[in-house]
Amino acid sequence: MGYNLRVGVIQHKIYGSSDWLGQFKSVKEDIIRLSKEGAGLICLPELWHCGPVLKKEGDIPFNDASSLLSMLQALVNELNIFLICGMPESYDMHGREYRFNAAYLISHRKTPESYRKIHLFRPFGEDRIFSRGITPVAFWLNIEDGRATKSYSDTNNLDTHHQNMEIGIGPIICFDLRFPELSREYAIIGCSVIVCIALWPEERIGQFKALLRARAIENQCFVVGVNACGKKAGVQFGGASSIISPKGDVLYECGKEKEAFSLDLEIGLIKEARNRFLTARPKNWQIPISSKTLLLNDLMPIVKRRRASGQKCVFTNGCFDIIHAGHVAYLEEARRQGDFLVVGINSDSSVKKIKGSLRPINPEHIRASVIAGLGCVDYVTIFNETTPLQLIKSLMPDCLVKGEDWGPNDIVGADTVKKNGGSVYRIPFVHDISTTKIIGKIVASHKK
């Protein structure tokens, strides 16, 4: 039936203290034992060495993470295994420090790779401490006799060069489990195992079990759920770490106490399940571009319904005359600030008032179609005024986005959004490009 991968699961007990060295000594024995049983991949829970954030930055020992990673790396090198574990990650970019709740893959003599949690859990205050991850990151392993021998990570494409002995691991972290699109993305690019590391409370443990089975059934792959037990700051963790088959069968499930086990995953069962009927595939429908461009009166009830259901509306605006890489990067970043993005586009008459009689280069219906064709844009509407103030008042978005070239006091509609409980986000430019520069370059080339 093909090859196996032996996976070890450590249902670790979270202590009330931040004694990460004591936590390490506790799991070290389990890691060594599971390795002797033949486990090539061993998994630990989310933030296993410190527990949840609980709204205080001091709850997360960022400074200890590098030391702990070094100790785990040495142990992994000694045992020649792979280890997936949840730890905080600190990352500097453009002089700014970003902190993430990460799932690390620590492998034999290789720099650790990480997936950064995309769906942060606000009741624990994660959004106050951590930045949100922006993309799935699959871990690709080459295996031999159930032991992982090589690895590489990839955010987009499946490299088929080593496909005969290759297995893909799709990491998700706790709250991510409630969002099926993330697990589906891993299945689509070819992952065989989804590993969910968690700090799932006992009061909702029934949902944890149900969601693990659902992700396995709908994606026709193995799902490994690695939860914590114990208690911290009044939160009792529910255990129930388990491994689910591609058919949804529970192959093993822990109780509520500390436990460590290993199990062979028969990878051929995935092909068997998918040969009967295939559900682990991309959606075969998409929203037409024409239905994304709406008049304001048609757009308002849609926005109202989505906001009423708890979704966060993001709004930005612009002329978007000649679409370039700067526009795309800007709109992608804007979309990350909420659940759906509305783009207001200046009409042709509005652009002429702002840019002069020679603009726009492209008429409004063309500009709207191009913007609507971007996957990060949910809705487009055209407005005639020189500023989007009336549009903003009508839609009342939860987040208003503009470029960093706009000063905080110069953003039209900022006060309106803030008074309604919303926020304003300024996006730094990542490309030194603009429509004006493109036009200038074209004109200069014709003069030569």
Q: What per-residue string of b and e applies to 368-389 under the rule 16 or more CB within 10 Å gives b?
A: bebbbebebbbbbbbbeeeebe
Q: Where are the beta strands (DSSP E) in 269-378?
A: 313-318, 340-346
pLDDT in tens, 165-175: 789 999 999 99
Question: Does the CA dihedral 299-305-306-308 come out positive or negative?
Answer: positive
Q: Which of 306-320, 357-371, 425-439 has the lowest mean pLDDT?
A: 425-439
The rounded distance, in Å, linking the Cα atoms of 224 and 344 is 44
Nearest-CA neighbor of 118 among 195, 179, 58? 179
Question: Does the CA dihedral 117-118-119-124 come out positive or negative?
Answer: positive
Q: Please indicate whether residue 355 is annotated as part of the active site.
A: yes
Q: Which of 39-43, 193-197, 238-242, 440-444 has the lowest mean pLDDT?
A: 440-444
Residues 6+ apart with CB under 8 A from 324: 431, 433, 434, 435, 438
Q: What are phi and psi of 161, to 5 degrees?
A: -65, -35
The rounded distance, in Å, linking the Cα atoms of 294 and 309 is 21
Name the active-site residue from 28, 355, 402, 447: 355
Please give the C-alpha separations between residue 172 and each of 198, 263, 278, in angstroms, as whole numbers.
9, 20, 22
Walk me through the domains of the chain, giving residue ranges and CATH numbers: 4-276 (3.60.110.10), 289-447 (3.40.50.620)
Please give the C-alpha separations between residue 214 and each of 167, 174, 211, 247, in angstroms, as whole numbers.
21, 15, 5, 10
The rounded distance, in Å, linking the Cα atoms of 249 and 222 is 10
Question: Does the CA dihedral 310-342-302-370 come out positive or negative?
Answer: negative
* Model confidence at 149: pLDDT above 80: no
Q: Please indicate whether residue 110 is annotated as part of the active site.
A: no
Rg of the chain's alpha carbons, rounded to an integer? 25
The rounded distance, in Å, linking the Cα atoms of 379 and 373 is 10
> What confidence tier does 221 reach under pLDDT thresholds 50, 70, 90?
very high
Instruction: List, in sequence order, every residue forming a beta bridge with 153; answer none if it has no partner.
Output: 139
> What confidence tier does 53 reach under pLDDT thresholds 50, 70, 90?
confident
Greatest extent of the chain over all pairs of C-alpha atoms, in Å: 77
At residue 229, the pLDDT reads: 96
3-class DSSP state of 259: strand
CB-count exposure of residue 81 (10 Å: 0-12, 13-18, 19+): buried
Name the active-site residue from 56, 353, 402, 437: 353
The rounded distance, in Å, linking the Cα atoms of 19 and 234 is 18
* Model confidence at 163: pLDDT above 60: no
Q: What angle do CA 181, 174, 227 make, to 5 degrees?
A: 135
- Which element (helix H / strand E) includes 445? helix 435-447
Residues 6+ apart with CB under 8 A from 434: 324, 326
The rounded distance, in Å, linking the Cα atoms of 267 and 262 is 15
Of 122 and 102, more confident: 102
pLDDT in tens, 358-397: 899 999 999 999 999 999 999 999 999 999 999 999 999 9
| Prediction pTM value | 0.84
* Model confidence at 161: pLDDT above 50: no
DSSP states of 383-442:
E-SSSSHHHHHHH--SEEEEETTS-TTT-TTHHHHHHTT-EEEEEPPSS---HHHHHHHH
Q: Which of 77-91, 131-145, 306-320, 324-338 has the lowest mean pLDDT?
A: 131-145
Question: Does the CA dihedral 302-411-338-154 come out positive or negative?
Answer: positive
